Structure 1
Amino acid sequence: MKKLLNSILVLTLIALLVVGCGPAQNSTSDEQPQNQNSAEEQPITLKVGASPVPHAEILNAVKPILEGEGIKLDIIEFADYNQPNLRLADKDLDANYFQHIPYLESFSKDHKLDLTYTAKVHIEPMGVYSHKIKDLKDLKEGAEIAIPNDPTNAGRALIILEQAGLLKIKDGVGINATVYDITENPKKLKLTELEAATLPRVLQDVDAAVINSNYALEAKLVPTDDSLALESAKDNPYVNILAVCKGDENRPELKKLADALNSPEIKKFIEEEYRGAVIPAF
């Protein structure tokens, strides 16, 4: 009888141990998919370089659209036109949004970078500004005009000055024009080439300056109101784009970013926020 009781006790203990281990194994099994699901639900983060105005502002308007797609935007602001492309080529950024197509092509060629673009977003008409005159006809002989020193924007500035009747440039050079292509300069204007970002700051020191709209907006200038001459948006080749490394064009998250930048919501935002100073290109 004693042996029987001992046998029953041993079997009971074994049964309890088996039952006790069961839920722990089930709990581990249940928790593993939950952890996997949690990892899968983590949003994808895209690092995008941008000029503060209007590019970063437009990207901030894009954020809610992408959040619904499980994508988080990390916007890195740059004050110059060099670092965003160099950082993109080094894979420090997933994309950048600050430049027009001719600048991307020129910079990529000069620095041997494999960059391309996925979306055309907007146009920023370049304008001529002055704190000293109200009309370009009032420019005196020998007046100083500051223009951007990067090749594509310098050529663009010269075309605007030609269209304003201030000078003439060699036929056929187009956006590749340099100061050496000026064939007529009746007022003997002095053209000073400076870093594009500095032009609003030197406006008080020169008679006039040709300024990119993003820098004009940062300086609280209103292109449609304050400019003495404004570039036409019709057939304008200077469309600002979303740039990526070649080979990344089909990354799903970057395609979603491109789609968001070309969405009706963003078109409405640009039209209402900038009222002609920035024009949707889609």
Structure 2
Amino acid sequence: MLETTPRVAVIPGRRTALIALAASVFSVAALTFAPAVHAQDKTSIKVGIMAGEEEDTWVAVKEQAATNGLTVETVIFNDYTQPNEALARGEIDANAFQHEPYLENQIATQGYKIVVAGYTALWPVGLYSKKHKSLEELPDGAVIGVPNDPSNEGRALRVLEDAGLIKLREGAGILATVADVDENPKKLEIKELDAGIVGRAIDDLDGAVVNTDWALKSGLTADIQIARETIENNPYRNFIAVRAEDKDAPWVKKLVASYQNEAVKEAFDRIYKGSGVSAY
């Protein structure tokens, strides 16, 4: 039968004190020199993503992460303001839902110390038309709808500028508005509408600049898209974001590699059917 009470040798006098002192010094030394567990040692992380098709994409990312020795748990959000707040608070380790103009605005207004870890995909904004099959067919005075929120309106106007339909004033930046249109040779009537309405109003417009998410919800398809923003150096590419303190951690490199590979690209293409493109 095993004893449940350990036997303690009693050492009298000064020797007891010396041994106790030595033990305490050893304990302090052990605490001082014990290896600390930092974020870079992580083998299991939480990543915030938005509800919807991204959940399917990240199933493939999780599979790739497992082969890299990293366990990924996805945390699903329905509000775009939540993932950065959760990341800043340490409730998640990374997120993947935003582009740089959005993050820059969040940093300016909220003071977040969040950085880009690696790019993921782009959902190109397009100019759609049910009445005209090409840019050349757009008549003078055509009515074009654009979203009226600051980030998306500037992006939509860039699509029109890249298509040669308008020219924005120098220095207009990514938050350009209709007031920044410097040249409008076709005398387009640019209507600012709510982002959720502009795609659905296309029957009453000659064309509408709509982001991918709202295009899908509005039933707009690639076959009626007559212009599209380019991918190269596009500030609206989405990315994996982490806290600045973690940017060089080994697990971050593993996470990015788990997204940026052919297996995930194939899954992404299958899920988004051309409405989004890999952009890394």
Identical counterparts, % of pairs = 32
Separation in structure 1 between the aligned mates of residue 191 and residue 228 of structure 2, nearest angstrom: 18
Structure having the higher helix fraction is 1
Alignment deviations for residues 22-61 of structure 1 (CA, whole Å, 9 cap, x no partner): 7x99xxxxxxxxxxxxxxxxx83514123634x3332122
Alignment deviations for residues 118-170 of structure 1 (CA, whole Å, 9 cap, x no partner): 0112222210124455445345737251325133x322211111233432211
Shift of 1:198: 5.3
Separation in structure 2 between the aligned mates of residue 278 and residue 219 of structure 1, nearest angstrom: 16
Structure 2 residue aligned with 1:101: 100
Structure 2 residue aligned with 1:266: 264
Check whether the contact 2:64–2:259 (CA below 8 A) recurs between aligned residues. no
Structure 1 residue aligned with 2:157: 158
Gaps of 5+ in 1: 1-19, 26-42
> Equivalent residues in 2 for 1:80-91 (5 A)?
80-91=79-90
* Aligned residue pairs, count: 240
Seen in structure 2, the aligned counterparts of structure 1 residues 51 and 187 have a Cα distance that, compared at 3 Å, is farther
Structure 2 residue aligned with 1:237: 235
Seen in structure 2, the aligned counterparts of structure 1 residues 194 and 81 have a Cα distance that, compared at 3 Å, is farther
Separation in structure 1 between the aligned mates of residue 200 and residue 243 of structure 2, nearest angstrom: 33
The amino acid of 2:187's aligned partner reads: K
What TM-score results when the alignment is normalised by the length of structure 2? 0.70
Structure 1 residue aligned with 2:278: 280
Separation in structure 2 between the aligned mates of residue 92 and residue 203 of structure 1, nearest angstrom: 41
Q: Secondary structure at the match of 2:90?
A: coil
What TM-score results when the alignment is normalised by the length of structure 1? 0.70
Structure 1 residue aligned with 2:179: 180
Shift of 1:95: 2.0
The amino acid of 1:178's aligned partner reads: T
Separation in structure 2 between the aligned mates of residue 150 and residue 268 of structure 1, nearest angstrom: 33
Question: Does 1:125 find its partner at 2:139?
Answer: no
Q: Secondary structure at the match of 1:108?
A: helix
Q: Secondary structure at the match of 1:228?
A: strand
Separation in structure 2 between the aligned mates of residue 200 and residue 75 of structure 1, nearest angstrom: 30
Q: Secondary structure at the match of 1:145?
A: strand
The amino acid of 2:2's aligned partner reads: C
The amino acid of 1:52's aligned partner reads: G
The amino acid of 1:71's aligned partner reads: T
RMSD: 3.2
Shift of 1:96: 1.8
Structure 2 residue aligned with 1:190: 190
Q: Secondary structure at the match of 2:2?
A: helix
Separation in structure 1 between the aligned mates of residue 81 and residue 189 of structure 2, nearest angstrom: 29
Check whether the contact 2:145–2:208 (CA below 8 A) recurs between aligned residues. yes
The amino acid of 1:108's aligned partner reads: I
